[in-house]
Structure 1
Amino acid sequence: MIHFQNGATASSISGVQWVKSSASNPAGGDCVRFAELPNGEVAMSNSRFPEGPALVFTRSEIAAMLAGVRQGEFDGMAV
């Protein structure tokens, strides 16, 4: 099984499809993007810095984050 290291450059994670929100700013490239990894984990990166680090999360960590987003727990960070 392939292991992906936290902090690896997003561009070094090959063979995955990065997905970003349709609400992202395409002109400025402001978006957080996610990729499902072959080992079942999920990588997250900032598309403005493709050579920057990717953070790797378990599915349960992503589920907890999405639950918090849905409940509005991070709304104050977007204003």
Structure 2
Amino acid sequence: MIVNGVKADQISGAAWQKARASVGNGNCVEVTPLAEGGVAMRNSRFPTGPALVFSKAEWVAFLDGAKGEEFDHLGA
């Protein structure tokens, strides 16, 4: 089982993906699916740094909140 804080480069088989909107600006968040069904997230500027690990349910809840504009105030 992969846990929060694991070094991102130690996640075996990771296929990190950036959002299309992030590519090229150097400040990217990258995600990869995990074998257990969850998702890991890392800061592309620190590819060997710690990864945040989300269960599938946590990831779905986060995406629902983002799509519902619940976090838009944080970008202001």
TM > 0.5 between the two? yes
SS in 1 for 2:70: coil
2:73 match? 76
Alignment of 1:1-79 (within 5 A): 3-27=1-25, 29-79=26-76
- Give the TM-score, by structure 2 length: 0.90
Structure 1's unaligned 5+ residue stretches are none
Structure 2's unaligned 5+ residue stretches are none
Q: How many residues align?
A: 76
1:19-73 Cα offsets, whole Å, 9 max, x none, are 110000514x211111001111110111111121101111110111011101111
Distance 2:60 2:38 in 1: 11
Amino acid at match of 1:22: R
Distance 2:57 2:7 in 1: 23
- Percent identity over paired residues: 47
How large is the Cα RMSD of the aligned pairs? 1.2
- Give the TM-score, by structure 1 length: 0.87
SS in 1 for 2:65: helix
